[in-house]
Amino acid sequence: MSGHCHTGVKICGLTEEAGFDACVENGADWIGFVFFERSPRFVTPQHATRLAQRERGQARTVGLFVHPTDEDIARVLEHAPLDVMQIYASDERARQVADAFGLPVWLSFPVAGREDLPQSCSVQRMLIEPIPPKNATRPGGNAQKLDWSMLEGWQPSFPWMLAGGLNVGNVAEAIRRTGVPAVDVSSGVESAPGIKDPALIASFVRNARTAGRA
Ligand SMILES: O=C(O)c1ccccc1N[C@@H]1O[C@H](COP(=O)(O)O)[C@@H](O)[C@H]1O
Closest-CA residue, ligand 1 atom 15, reads 141
Residue 10 CA: nearest ligand 1 atom is 21
Q: Is residue 108 part of a domain?
A: yes
Closest residue by Cα to residue 208 from 67, 1, 40, 7: 7
Q: How many CB atoms lie within 10 A of CB 210?
A: 13
The pLDDT confidence band at residue 2, using thresholds 50, 70 and 90, is: very low
Q: Is residue 2 part of a domain?
A: no
State the residue range of the domain holding 167.
Answer: 8-213
Query: What is the DSSP annotation of 169-212?
Result: TTHHHHHHHH--SEEEESGGGEEETTEE-HHHHHHHHHHHHHHH
Tens of pLDDT, residues 105-132: 999 999 999 999 999 999 999 999 999 9
Helix (H) or strand (E) holding 50: helix 45-52
Q: Is residue 130 part of a domain?
A: yes
Q: Mean pLDDT across the stretch 86-97?
A: 97
CATH code of the domain containing 134: 3.20.20.70
Q: Confirm whether the ipTM is greater than 0.95.
A: yes
Residue 64 near ligand 1, beta carbon < 6 Å? yes
The pLDDT value recorded for residue 94 is 97
Residue 15 near ligand 1, beta carbon < 6 Å? no
Q: Mean pLDDT across the stretch 142-159?
A: 96
Q: Is residue 191 part of a domain?
A: yes
What does DSSP assign to residue 35? -
Q: Quote the CA–CA distance of 139 and 133 in Å, as a whole number.
A: 9
Q: What is the best residue among 12, 67, 171 to mutate for testing ligand 1's pocket, by most ligand atoms within 8 Å of CB?
A: 12
Residue 165 near ligand 1, beta carbon < 6 Å? yes
Q: Quote the CA–CA distance of 150 and 86 in Å, as a whole number.
A: 23
Residue 151 near ligand 1, beta carbon < 6 Å? no
Q: Which pTM was predicted? A: 0.96
Q: Is residue 152 part of a domain?
A: yes
Centre of ligand 1 to C-alpha 2, Å, is 25
Tens of pLDDT, residues 34-79: 999 999 999 999 999 999 999 888 899 999 999 999 999 999 999 9
For CA atoms 41, 108, 96, 28, the dihedral sign is positive
Q: Are the C-beta atoms of residues 80 and 61 closer than 8 Å to each other?
A: yes
Centre of ligand 1 to C-alpha 127, Å, is 11
**3-class SS at 76?**
helix
Closest residue by Cα to residue 34 from 25, 47, 23, 22: 47
Q: Mean pLDDT across the stretch 7-22?
A: 98
Count of structural domains, the chain: 1
Residue 139 near ligand 1, beta carbon < 6 Å? yes
Residue 130 near ligand 1, beta carbon < 6 Å? no
φ, ψ for residue 138, nearest 5 deg: -150, 155
Q: Is residue 3 part of a domain?
A: no
Q: Is residue 184 part of a domain?
A: yes
Q: Is residue 139 part of a domain?
A: yes
Pairing status of strand 195-196 against strand 190-192: antiparallel
Residue 13 near ligand 1, beta carbon < 6 Å? yes
